[in-house]
Structure 1
Amino acid sequence: MAPTRRITFELDTETVLRLVQQLEPDLVIKGFSRLEGGSTEVYKIDLADSGYESLVLKIYADKPEWLPKKEPLVAGYLRDLTVPVPTWLRVDESRSLLPLRYSLVTHVPGRSLRHWMSEPDIKQAYRQMGELLRHIHAIPMPAYGYLYGHGIDKPVLANEDYMTAAFEDVFRRFRDLSGDSDLARRLQQVAKGSFDLLSASDGPVLAHDDFHQGNVLAFRGKADRLELSGLVDFGNARAADRLFDLAKALFCSAHEDPRSYQPVLEGYGSVDHPDAERALWLYTLFHRVSMWCWLTKIGVGAEAEDGPGGLIRDLREMVA
């Protein structure tokens, strides 16, 4: 997963107070602390005598420039989800109070599911993950394409057109970054053998495209039961075939914990598709190549068994 981008300045209480008083001049802070995980700097701000109780400060790097506007857009799509998502209260790109852009959002209770993976009832939480993903996929989108702050960028009406272009792009990037034209050719050849399935999509839906234990929150609820309590981090979201996103969720979640694969799939439920298993295989191939390209681009060593090295091994097995 992505390393968190560290800010290069010290965040102090006086600055945080000025930030929250942009919302309400009378707000008083009790303290603030950095939250775990995420690809941006994220802080929890505890308030005194306020209806908010706590807020979250998200500080964005200069790139990607569209992220501060994209996340509140996607959160709006998810406002009726079965678990809470943050509400964006303020997006400030002026750099007048901080040298970087930031957002203030409502705090969602719970800790990332990574914190709970050693618990005896974790598999039940994984089934809840599958159920939650199915609810996300009940949100229809008007076309296929990547989401930016203004909506779908370069919308495409047919899944086969969208994914054929996406496969061509990811194989080109793989060839350029790896220099292994033979493996790239074999991957492309085996993928094309299942391209007939791309037309079987039942329409574009909202895809989180980064659905794993790090972005799902949970707490101990009634009867001490582990329950999902929130969903965060919408920077990767797009409009896609539901199986595209299910494959990414299974791939990323199983990377965190191999035990998650089957319960997430069970929680998601049956899929009306002529060959769902082969479609998941095809989309998994895409996600593995894409992940290899991304990890390699950000400088993760090819020898890392859980990084590019392990992904190359898996890709070779897929074309064996």
Structure 2
Amino acid sequence: MPQPDQLPPGTAWTEPLLREVFPDAEVIEVLPRTGGQLSTVYELRCADPAHSAILKVYAPEWAWKQVKEVRVYRILAGLDSLPVPRVLHHMPDGAPDGRAVTVLSLLEGRPLSEASKDLDASQIPSFYREMGAALATIHQVGQEAYGYMTDHLLDPRPDNGTYMRHQFAKKLAEFKTLGGDDRLHDTVARRIERDGALFDNCRAAVLCHNDLHEGNVLVGPGDVAHVTGIIDVENAIAADPLIDLAKTDYYSLGRGEPERHTLFEGYGPLPADAAERLDLYRLYHALELWDWFRSIGTVVPLGSIADDIARLAGQRSDTPS
């Protein structure tokens, strides 16, 4: 079966999809946009710019994520201050090869991961302040339990301690199966045994984006550039809000203290044990990332991630770092 990026590049199959929303839409160009491992994204450029939209095509094994994205985007659309795309149309078999497709409203801007190449380094912290504020807004949406989200919570856990111990056990098992270092595995396990009680300090689950890095933040042009979009909610979970904040920090592409400071500043007040919990969640994200890269055969970053795991597994902190 052809991959999404091998779908017909013309407008014949995309125009009928868009006309479900805009009956007079005329698609004049289909442009590939930045996608990911699980889906391919196109911009449908129309004769009338008001009809232009984003088309997301899901790989067959990940088609179930469409229901999740539609649900989460619609929840987030209810948060008026959060710039997220609107779901315009979706079909489980709308592509020529029967793949699931979702049509989303087109937001201004391009990913910060791309735009940052043209920006002065002094401009980047302001975006992290907005990212922190965006996370705080998303975390206003409470959840009844902890777990992975689809159109419902999969294997929901009643409390954060149970959820995070289960998640670490799962990721450590994957690490061992994928050939991870036994001593590093045991070091992580000892850290969780030693400090895992910190997970119990989170008393309520919230909706977490769980992938708010520079590739999923759109920024607009102008004299005062700002965040114009929060996208890609495929990884959303119900969890401790600090796990979300820690992922944005850990995935900050080598940014430094100015970005970390403004991320936390934009987010707002943190609980008294935030430093210690953030460290544990950074460890979790490093372990998860190592597992993911190893599972897809991406080996170059594994050494540096393993170094992160080793550092975080033996670390104690008294301040957010």
TM-score (norm 2): 0.89
8 A Cα contact 1:213 1:256, kept in partner: no
For 1:147 and 1:71, the matched residues in 2 are separated by 10
Shift of 1:171: 1.0
Match 1:143 to one of 135, 145, 151: 145
1:263-282 map, 5 Å: 263-273=262-272, 275-282=273-280
Following superposition, the deviation at residue 243 of structure 1 comes to 0.8
Alignment length (residue pairs): 306
Q: CA offsets, 1:200-245, max 9 Å, x none?
A: 1031011001011110111135xx2111111100000000001111
Contact 2:4-2:58 at 8 Å conserved across structures: no
1:90 corresponds in structure 2 to 89
- Taking the aligned partners of 1:144 and 1:194, their CA distance within structure 2 comes to 20
SS at match of 1:264: helix
SS in 1 for 2:219: strand
Q: Are the aligned partners of 1:122 and 1:226 in contact in 2 as well (CA < 8 Å)? A: no
Residue 261 of structure 1 deviates from its aligned partner by 2.2
Distance 1:23 1:53 in 2: 9
Match of 2:311 in 1: 317
2:193 — aligned with what?
Answer: 192
User: Corresponding residue for 1:167?
Assistant: 168
CA distance in 2, matches of 1:7, 1:210: 23
Deviates more, 1:35-44 or 1:308-317: 35-44
SS where residue 197 of structure 1 aligns?
helix
Q: Are the counterparts in 2 of residues 216 and 228 from structure 1 also a CA contact under 8 Å?
A: yes
SS in 1 for 2:60: coil
Q: What is the alpha-carbon distance in structure 2 between the residues aligned to residue 293 and residue 25 of structure 1?
A: 45
Give the C-alpha shift of residue 172 in structure 1: 1.0
CA RMSD of aligned residues (A): 1.9
**Unaligned regions of 5+ residues in structure 1, if any?**
none
**What letter matches 2:311 in structure 1?**
E
Give the secondary structure class of the aligned counterpart of 1:220: coil
Residue 210 of structure 1: SS of its match in structure 2? coil
The residue that corresponds to 2:319 in the other structure is none
Deviation of 1:10 (Å): 2.7
**Mapped pair 1:123 → 2:125:** yes
Equivalent residues of 2:92, 2:99 under 8 A apart: yes
Q: Structure 2: how far apart are the matches of 1:235 and 1:252?
A: 16
Q: Deviations over 1:161-219 (max 9, x none)?
A: 11111111111111111252222111100122111111110310110010111101111
| Aligned residues of 2:148 and 2:237 also touching (Cα < 8 A) | yes
1:155 Cα deviation (Å)?
1.7
What stretches of structure 2 of length at least 5 have no aligned partner?
315-321
Q: Secondary structure at the match of 1:214?
A: helix
CA displacement 1:266-317 (0-9 Å, x = unmatched) = 22122123x211110111111111110011001101xx2xx21111112222
Of 5-14 and 284-293, more deviation after overlay is shown by 5-14
CA contact (8 A) 1:137 1:242 kept: yes
Q: Distance in 2 between matches of 1:85 and 1:61?
A: 23
Partner of 2:302: 308
Look up the SS of the partner of 1:78 in the other structure.
helix
Q: 1:297 pairs with 283, 295, 298, which one?
A: 295
1:218-229 mapped onto 2 (5 Å cutoff)? 218-221=219-222, 224-229=223-228
1:198-217 to 2 correspondence within 5 Å? Answer: 198-217=199-218
Q: Supply the distance in 2 between the matched residues of 1:13 and 1:94 (Cα, whole angstroms).
A: 17
TM-score normalised by structure 1 residue count: 0.89
Superposed displacement of residue 22, structure 1: 3.5
The change in CA–CA distance for 1:65 and 1:99 in structure 2 (over 3 A counts) is: closer
